[in-house]
Amino acid sequence: MHQVEIATTQETLLDSPEMVLNMGPQHPSTHGVLRVVLRLDGETVIDLDCDIGYLHRGMEKIAENRMYTMIAPYWDRLDYIAAVSNGLVWVETVEQMMGLDVPPRAHYLRTILTELNRIASHLLWLATHALDIGAITVLLWALREREEILKIFERQFGARLTCHAWRVGGMPNDAYDDFHKDVKQFVNNFPKRIDEYETVLSENRIWLSRTVGIGVIAAEDAIAIGLSGPALRGSGVAWDVRKSRPYAAYADMDFDIPLGENGDTYDRYLVRLEEMRQSRRIVDQALENLPDGPVNAKLPKIVKPPVGDYYHSIEGPKGEIGCYIVSDGTAQPWRVRVRPPSFVNLQALRQMCIGHLVADVVAIIGTLDIVLGEIDR
Amino acid sequence: MPLVKTPKASFAQKLKRFFFVDLIKGMGLTLKYNLGAIIDKDAVAGKGIYTEQYPKVRPDVAPRFHGAPRLNMDPETHDTLCIACNLCAIACPEDCIDVIAMDVEIVVAGKPRRKKVLDEFIFDTSRCMFCALCQEACPTSCLELTQDFELATYSRAGFVWNREMLEQGRETVKYTS
């Protein structure tokens, strides 16, 4: 572990006591309404504490008072950057409770569109992370590519951000007419774009000095905290729900899980860039093998899962999104609990930041890729 | 499973760094983009430009877009297609639809019958999530979310749409040039 010697009691002519600094909740670099209380010695972070809950909307409680089919649009608003993935976890959990057989075409379309959503989420992460560190150019380029994905979403789902993409048992609509052409065009153009980001960032001396060795977390610590997603894989732990518990059509796909070595901010950056390339590979494969047929399973008039409790998780862009539902046999869930990846990943912030400078806190919050809508729910 | 490799600073890399190769490469790429915006004919024709000049140029909204609600009418008789079945109000997660029906006496085959018809339709767009569950629930394709996306008003009351607004559409100023 990267540790910096901290001299807390320095005997100087001028007495310099520790300082407590409030960062947020309204701060451009905390990516939402996150308040971080920092204890500083000069510019070095000695200790920090996170204050969350500013965006609490009571999603889990709302879900207790809605029918199973109505809850999916609320789930989009957990992690609004990855609304398609979040909607999928709800829908798939209910389908497993009901024991529904979703047609393969729906599974393949779900795979394509969630992977596009993963790319969109990683692009927004790259844009804001680079902006936090000081590279503005990448923001404009990454948002340009994200726009193409959002246009596909608008044509397919009818909305750009909170798409309400899935219904229990399948999809609201089949793929639109030019779907194949639009996705193929994106898939063909995208590798060139990632190479451009790499040209600007990967060897850039400013980028390297701001990210290499910053926010290191060892594999054991990452597992102990319960990190998931790129934050975990950056430390070299090969854990991906798409591989270990395949859902949708991931069992048929051929892709690799990129792993980091050092578990620092730079490795997590490389892991996410490589993940975008792998996602592009998955989209390409799924598009080639897209089967024909219906996109909806036969659904009873009122969705009433049998009594019991169920847990299902998928690999979202930020990590493992889980959904735990307790059913009492009625049309409304008795209790719902979300396992939000950002909430768990944020717990590593303290360990990552101690010993670094205040400017590095901004970089580390960026590298964790948190969304406050999901943390506070 | 590929490992991502942090570049080790070899001698060649140190040399590259000494001669600012990393910065020159990055600057070269951004310069290419800048020149491209000036020279590229595609860019001039609007192909390479991603900024939409809204409101001067109105965006191309997808046909499936979930925007302002509308109550469709029969194109020939101009009667409402709504049968006051209340399914949209039941399907709405936010409970923002109120369907108010009234009973009318009609004569079917010489016998008096009571029929439920639509009296008033209240749609609260301030609470609407535009999830389109109401549109899917509608059995007569009456309630539809249209491509109109300009929903801002000056008052809270303006967000509550009544039947007349839902049928005729709301008057908005369309700034074109």
Give chain A's radius of gyration (CA, Å): 21
Residue B47: predicted pLDDT: 57
Distance CA A259, CA A213 (A): 16
Give A47's DSSP letter. E
Give the model confidence (pLDDT) of A126-181 as tens digits: 999 998 888 888 888 888 889 889 989 999 988 888 888 888 888 888 888 888 88
Chain B contacts of A196, Cβ < 8 Å?
Answer: 29
Chain B contacts of A164, Cβ < 8 Å?
Answer: 66, 129-133
Distances in Å between the Cα of A215 and the Cα atoms of A180, A259, B52 are 41, 16, 39
CB contact under 8 A, B133 and A69: yes
CA A200 to chain centre: 24
Partner B contacted by A299 (CB < 8 A): no
Note the ipTM here: 0.80
Q: Which residues pair with A37 in a beta bridge?
A: A22, A49
Partner B contacted by A245 (CB < 8 A): no
Residues 102-141 of B with CB under 8 A from A: 129-133, 136
CB contact under 8 A, B6 and A199: no
Which residues of chain B are under the pLDDT cut of 50?
44-45
Q: How far is A70 from chain B (nearest CA, A)?
A: 5
Partner B contacted by A159 (CB < 8 A): yes
Partner B contacted by A202 (CB < 8 A): yes
Tokens representing A7? Answer: 């001299």
Tokens representing A4? Answer: 């910096």
Chain B contacts of A240, Cβ < 8 Å?
Answer: none
Q: Which residue has the tokens 């925007």?
A: B67
User: In chain B, which residue's Cα lies nearest the Cα of A204?
Assistant: B22
Q: How far is B173 from chain A (nearest CA, A)?
A: 23
Residue A12: predicted pLDDT: 54
The Cα angle at residue A56 between residues A52 and A57, in degrees rounded to 5:
170
Are A190 and A145 a contacting pair, CB within 8 Å? Answer: yes
Compare CB distances from A203 to B22, B50, B129 and report the shortest one's residue: B22
CB contact under 8 A, A162 and B129: yes
Partner A contacted by B154 (CB < 8 A): no
Q: What residue type is B160 in one-letter code?
A: V
Residue B44: predicted pLDDT: 44
Size of interface A-B (CB pairs under 8 A): 97
SS3 of residue A102 by DSSP: coil
Q: How far is B105 from chain A (nearest CA, A)?
A: 32
Residue A1: predicted pLDDT: 46
Which residues neighbour B1 within 8 Å (Cβ) at sequence distance 6 or greater?
A238, A256, A257, A258, A259
Partner B contacted by A332 (CB < 8 A): no
User: In chain B, which residue's Cα lies nearest the Cα of A151?
Assistant: B62
CA atoms within 13 A on the CB side of A1: 15
For the purposes of burial, counting CB atoms within 10 Å of the CB of B5, is it exposed (0-12), middle (13-18) or buried (19 or more)? exposed
Compare CB distances from B136 to A172, A205, A274 and report the shortest one's residue: A172
Residue A375's closest CA among A31, A70, A124, A23? A31
Q: How far is B96 from chain A (nearest CA, A)?
A: 13
Q: B114-121: long-range contacts at Cβ-Cβ below 8 A with a sequence spacing of 24 or more?
A: B116/B83, B116/B84, B117/B84, B118/B80, B118/B82, B118/B83, B118/B84, B118/B163, B119/B84, B120/B162, B120/B163, B121/B71, B121/B82, B121/B97, B121/B162, B121/B163, B121/B166
B contact test, residue of A200, A232, A278 with most B CBs within 10 A: A200
A contact test, residue of B5, B6, B16 with most A CBs within 10 A: B6
CB contact under 8 A, A73 and B50: no
Are B70 and B146 a contacting pair, CB within 8 Å? Answer: yes
Compare CB distances from A73 to B64, B93, B145 and report the shortest one's residue: B93
Distance CA B130, CA A195 (A): 37
Distances in Å between the Cα of A70 and the Cα atoms of A165, A331, A340, B165 are 12, 10, 20, 26
Which residues of chain A are under the pLDDT cut of 70?
1-16
Helical residues (DSSP H) of A99-218, grouped into ranges: 104-133, 137-157, 179-201, 205-211
CB contact under 8 A, A159 and B7: no
Partner A contacted by B65 (CB < 8 A): yes
CB contact under 8 A, A70 and B93: yes
Give the model confidence (pLDDT) of B122-149 as tens digits: 999 888 888 888 888 889 888 888 888 8
> What does pTM read for this prediction?
0.86
Which residues neighbour A286 within 8 Å (Cβ) at sequence distance 6 or greater?
A108, A111, A112, A115, A249, A253
CB contact under 8 A, A259 and B4: yes
